[in-house]
Amino acid sequence: MKNLKHISLLLVALVTMISCDKDFLDRAPQDELSKATIFSTYSNIKLYAWGFYDFLESFPTSTSWAATRDLLADLMQNGNSSVNPGYLNQEYDIPTVDSRYSTRRVNDLPVGPYVNINRVNIMLDALPDSQLLDEDKEHWRGVGLFFRAHEYFGMLQIFGSVPWIENSLTDQDLEELNKPRDTRDLVASNILRDLNEAVATIKTNGDGPNTINPDVARALLARFALFEGTWRKYHSLGDANTYLQAAVDASTFLVNKYPSIMDNYDAVYNSLDLAGEPGILLYRHYVIDELTHWGSTNTRSTNNKYDITRKGIDMFLTVDGKPIYNSSNTLFQGDQDHYAEFRNRDTRILTMTPPPYKINGNGTQTWTHTGNPADAEWFGKVAAVTGGYPSKELPDRNWSGRVTDRVPNFERLTPTQTGNGYRFWKIYNDLNDRVSSRDINDQPIFRMGEIFLINAEAKFELGQFTQADADATINKLRARGGVAPMDVAAITSDWDPNRDPSVDPVLWEIRRERAIELMGDGFRREDLRRWKKMEYATEVKLGRWVNQLDYNVTLPIQNGAASGYVQLIPATPPAFPEHYYLFPLPSDELLINPNLEQNPGW
């Protein structure tokens, strides 16, 4: 059974089964009859714990999705906006309520990680008194610890130190609920402790296919430990190597166990079913009329203008493995010829943004080729890289099949448009043909592509990265993009003239690979924060090189020139302030809990 497709439905069923009282989760620790019933059998506990899967990020259903976070970094931008985001413009207001932290109800509904943590703690506290076999108790304790660690990791990334709650609470437990923030050291060490226990106690096969198992726990451990280790290193905190080594240990185990990944990068994000695919550790399965999302629909609409920046496009190597501005690069043909810019490049670029073309046809489902071979150069190549229909193909279409007559499309009111010239179309498919907002492509949650990157980066940070490590990680990702392997010895200080000179040239290439492989997955802002490199996000964001005479609308070209790079945002953000690296706690929480202290500078 594809367990994750039923998560939302099961959560509703669980609440109905337990009680119609909306305060049940607050009362549960005091209600011994309810606890005895819920946690009396393996199947009951399983049903309860399956509600925890809803904590994991999903493709958009009612809220924004991971790619939105990348708009606050350097490789993507909002193509609908000519102003800097408030976060980058130092106009971020302390929120009254923040669902990334909140401990109480909002609009009479439980929200936030502390509500989720209390749900987990209810189960953890009840397990010792249940009648399960010891090995079953250990298994469900491990599952609970996984999800508790997941929630605390989310808060640690955003707010830094937070109060650690070890046991279930009710509204009457004010002394514990209103405690001060614990130290970052305690929170981080407890997350690592919980995940290590989860790895050791969760059953080898979890509760069947596509459920939490020890390897999924290792994947979360590696993700957390890399973040915490590099945050501590670059923000001058202590004990970085403890976490970096934990990231190496967990990711090395997985790299050795799962050496293969899916051959088709586009299929990682646009498959009808990820079951059994190599390198997929955990995914969310969508099924028509049961669980759907609107990620692909939104991508294929004028409502969405998520664009890749010039810097993001320039990240993609040529097929010989060289940066495009490497002095010996003879394959890059420049960015002023729209068709030539995509030639000889890492083919993952075709999964990120549609290459240029022109057709006869404008906003209908009917079209013909122009007769100019140059206008159709990329049709067959996109199909070859992505697999074609029902995945990506040219011409670009919206969910109803209406075609866009050219890329880039700045001006025509046809289905898909761009703001800066490089429309982001990573989540794009026709799996639910001609149906809006009921998309059914599966979502990878933990996959080996990310684990390879964690392993390479953590090993480099510890001085352990070798050519053998590059071959086991980075070069498998490059091979999928048709790019020559990384030769560690060849990467000298002048390998990429656009490199940040404060970053080691080999580490720069490892970070480049992470930027490409995870583009639009919601990691980039957090990567810049942990590396203490948010100044990248305040750089001028440029788009495609254009000639104004080629378009019927006035385009915002850099410096007001007749030709040049599109610059949607004329104003440059101020320097990124130190205190912005941590987000502020919501003001309501400070009022409710007088023992909380706000993050410095807010």
How many Cβ atoms from other residues are within 10 Å of residue 13's Cβ?
14
> Tokens 């106690």 map to which residue?
201
Q: What are phi and psi of 584, to 5 degrees?
A: -80, 150
Distance CA 286, CA 429 (A): 14
Residues paired with 439 in a beta bridge:
293
Q: Classify residue 388: in a domain, yes or no.
A: no
Instruction: Provide the pLDDT for residue 63.
Output: 66
Query: 104 pLDDT band (50/70/90 cuts)?
Result: low
- Chain centroid to CA 366: how far? 36
- The amino acid occupying position 256 is N
Structure confidence by residue, pLDDT tens digits, 538-547: 999 999 999 9
Average the pLDDT over 464-487 and give the result.
98
The total number of structural domains in the chain stands at 1
Distance CA 11, CA 54 (A): 8
Q: Classify residue 34: in a domain, yes or no.
A: yes
Q: Classify residue 152: in a domain, yes or no.
A: yes
Instruction: Provide the pLDDT for residue 3.
Output: 55
- The model's pTM: 0.94
Average the pLDDT over 21-31 and give the result.
35
Residue 173 has pLDDT above 80, yes or no: no
Distance CA 31, CA 160 (A): 34
Q: Classify residue 113: in a domain, yes or no.
A: yes
Residues sharing a CB contact under 8 Å with residue 108, sequence separation 6 or more, in sequence order:
22
- The amino acid occupying position 115 is V
Instruction: Provide the pLDDT for residue 107.
Output: 53
Distance CA 293, CA 310 (A): 29
Average the pLDDT over 399-418 and give the result.
91
Of the two residues 19 and 329, the one the predictor is more confident about is 329
Instruction: Provide the pLDDT for residue 302.
Output: 78
Percent of the chain with pLDDT over 70: 92
Closest listed residue to residue 115, CA positions, set 103, 99, 97: 103
Q: Classify residue 248: in a domain, yes or no.
A: yes
Structure confidence by residue, pLDDT tens digits, 452-461: 999 999 999 9
Q: Residue 250 corresponds to which tokens in the numbers above?
A: 């967990």
Distance CA 519, CA 401 (A): 26
Structure confidence by residue, pLDDT tens digits, 344-353: 999 999 999 9
Q: Classify residue 145: in a domain, yes or no.
A: yes
- The helix/strand/coil state of 434 is coil
Residues paired with 81 in a beta bridge:
none
Residue 1 has pLDDT above 70, yes or no: no
Residue ranges making up the domain that contains 198: 3-66+98-263
**Average pLDDT of every residue of the chain:** 92
Query: 61 pLDDT band (50/70/90 cuts)?
Result: confident
Instruction: Provide the pLDDT for residue 381.
Output: 97
Distance CA 599, CA 110 (A): 24
Distance CA 543, CA 422 (A): 7
Q: Classify residue 480: in a domain, yes or no.
A: no
Distance CA 418, CA 199 (A): 45
Enumerate the H helices of 290-437 as residue ranges.
295-299, 310-314, 348-352, 379-386
Residues sharing a CB contact under 8 Å with residue 204, sequence separation 6 or more, in sequence order:
213, 214
Instruction: Provide the pLDDT for residue 65.
Output: 84
How many Cβ atoms from other residues are within 10 Å of residue 551's Cβ?
13
Residue 27 has pLDDT above 70, yes or no: no
Strand order in the sheet with 406-407: 368-369, 357-360, 406-407
Helix (H) or strand (E) holding 60: none
Residues sharing a CB contact under 8 Å with residue 365, sequence separation 6 or more, in sequence order:
400, 401, 402, 403
Average the pLDDT over 432-437 and give the result.
92
Instruction: Provide the pLDDT for residue 184.
Output: 98
- The amino acid occupying position 285 is H
Q: What CATH number has the domain bearing residue 248?
A: 1.25.40.390
Q: What is the DSSP letter of 421?
A: S
- The helix/strand/coil state of 250 is helix
Structure confidence by residue, pLDDT tens digits, 291-340: 999 999 989 887 788 999 999 999 999 999 999 999 999 999 999 999 99
Instruction: Provide the pLDDT for residue 22.
Output: 32
Q: Residue 210 corresponds to which tokens in the numbers above?
A: 């596509």
How many Cβ atoms from other residues are within 10 Å of residue 393's Cβ?
19
DSSP strand E in 384-534: where? 406-407, 443-447
Instruction: Provide the pLDDT for residue 567.
Output: 98
Structure confidence by residue, pLDDT tens digits, 193-216: 999 999 999 999 999 999 999 999
Average the pLDDT over 247-265 and give the result.
98
Compute the radius of gyration of the chain from its Cα atoms: 25
Closest listed residue to residue 221, CA positions, set 245, 257, 185: 245
- The helix/strand/coil state of 308 is strand
User: DSSP readout, 177-219?
Assistant: HTPPPPPHHHHHHHHHHHHHHHHHHS-TTTTSTTS--HHHHHH
Enumerate the H helices of 481-586 as residue ranges.
505-517, 524-530
Residue 24 has pLDDT above 50, yes or no: no
Q: Classify residue 73: in a domain, yes or no.
A: no
Of the two residues 106 and 168, the one the predictor is more confident about is 168
Instruction: Provide the pLDDT for residue 25.
Output: 31
